[in-house]
Amino acid sequence: MKYQSVKGFRDIIGVSAETFSFVEKTARDTFKKYNFSEIRIPTVELSDLFLRTIGETTDIVEKEMYVFEDKGKRKIALRPEGTAGVVRAYIENNLSQKEPSQKFFYIGQMFRQERPQAGRFREFSQIGCEYFGNTSVYADIEMILLAKEILESSGVKDVKIEINNLGCEKCRPLLLEKIRKILSAVPSESLCDDCKRRFQKNPFRVLDCKIDGEKFKNIKPELCDLCSAEFEELKNGLKDVNVNFTVSNKLVRGLDYYTKTVFEITSDVLGSQSAVCAGGRYDNLVKDLGGATTAAVGFAIGVDRLVEIIEKSEVRSPKSEVQSAAVFVCATENDDCKKTAFHILSEIRNSGISADGGYFEKSLKSQMRLAGALNSKYVIIIGDEEIKNKKIILRDMKVQQQKEIGIDDALGEIKKCFNRNS
């Protein structure tokens, strides 16, 4: 039997894997600038947590969650997103009291059993963050700026930011009523199967339906005075910090916990799954899960999609920044040569210079070929003749010239090549 990866799951290899690391490092550095601290939450939670937070009638919970029973007969779900787990951890660990900073970020795998297609994976990675305890619109602006900065620092240009305000508990029922009224005037047979279902269970979602959404594009939120004023403040605040955006009534998000501000960042470089980041405010969730009334706002960037943008637009090659084998050490199959070569290889690495070698079962010719393929700047060659004379050959791969030096001078010479103090 030939083993293959499970449908919708994939291996990430080589330059792609490096780009993932590069993006994660960029995000970590940016989060630090904004005073976010890391939180690592479990990959699994009780499935009930997601029912209560994301919503029983959402696509994620209804169709896409990986749910299983563990040996203790608990119903467990692989996390489809990070917000629910972070809020659970926030309450359980009493973080509102214990942590001076109420800003948390996470990087990790999420799981959704969606129909696999370009940009949609069953296991994907998110860079996410959650900011607790700030009701001000300026927290929303900060989050949009932060998401934009992570994307731009990763080398992504020309993203589009869409915003909307879904209203508070006062104005949401008014919008719901409006949608229900309009929907009931539409013959049910003219709606897609999803919207027929949504009409009963989750009417908001008809607005962003890919099939029927057009029919309802003129439905505008009914915002109360406070939400209207806040939405104006958000728009003006974004303009003040030179963030371009458009307002989209269709942006309702596929998770039930949002209140007021929601936003999505898209890139034309991506295909139909164009959202690279999404988020918004969820001022009721901490309380709904048993915590104190706590405002909150957050977002998550889809790392797989961010990497796809970088790869497609060739904005930056992380490989050029980190060379994994600046020096390559070759030796012949003679015990003394191998031992000396391995010793020098370790010394070079200990001095902070990247190096590879130790492929001594290969011929010298194929070791040299590997050094070339790895783009090494210098190659050290230790053959039978050299070891007899206590020498090594140091070859500069760029100018294709080599010289003999004493074994004891090898490390010092390499350090000089990289301008390191001996």
Cα 58 to Cα 138: distance, rounded to the nearest angstrom? 29
305 touching ligand HAM, by CB under 6 A? yes
298 touching ligand HAM, by CB under 6 A? yes
Which listed residue (107, 146, 278, 410) binds ligand HAM by CB under 6 A? 278
Number of chain residues interacting with ligand HAM (CB under 6 A) = 26
Smallest distance, ligand HAM to C-beta of residue 320, A: 26
Q: Does residue 5 sit in helix, strand or coil?
A: coil
Cα 336 to Cα 231: distance, rounded to the nearest angstrom? 74
Pick the stretch among 203-211, 294-302, 310-318, 384-392 that binds ligand HAM (CB under 6 A). 294-302
Radius of gyration of the chain (CA): 28
Write b or e for each residue in 312-344: b if 16 or more Cβ atoms lie within 10 A of its Cβ, otherwise e: eeeeeebeeeeeebbbbbbbbebeebbebbbeb
Using CA atoms, how far residue 41 sits from 38, 86, 113, in Å, is: 10, 7, 21
Smallest distance, ligand HAM to C-beta of residue 201, A: 18
277 touching ligand HAM, by CB under 6 A? yes
128 touching ligand HAM, by CB under 6 A? yes
Smallest distance, ligand HAM to C-beta of residue 277, A: 6
Which listed residue (36, 121, 263, 360) binds ligand HAM by CB under 6 A? 121
Where is 349: in which H helix or E strand? Answer: helix 335-350
What mask of x and - would describe binding to ligand HAM in positions 165 to 194, judged by CB under 6 A? ------------------------------
Which listed residue (124, 204, 231, 378) binds ligand HAM by CB under 6 A? 124
By beta-carbon proximity to ligand HAM, the closer residue of 275 and 393 is: 275
82 touching ligand HAM, by CB under 6 A? yes
Q: Which residues contact 6 (CB under 8 A, 6 or more apart)?
A: 122
Determine the longest span between alpha carbons in the chain, in angstroms.
94
By beta-carbon proximity to ligand HAM, the closer residue of 221 and 302 is: 302
The distance from CA 396 to its chain's CA centroid, rounded to whole angstroms, is 39
Q: Does residue 201 sit in helix, strand or coil?
A: helix
The pair of three-digit structure tokens given for residue 298, joined into one six-digit string: 């957050």
Positions in the binding site for ligand HAM (CB under 6 A): 81-83, 112, 114, 119-121, 124, 126, 128, 130, 254-255, 275-280, 298-300, 302, 304-305
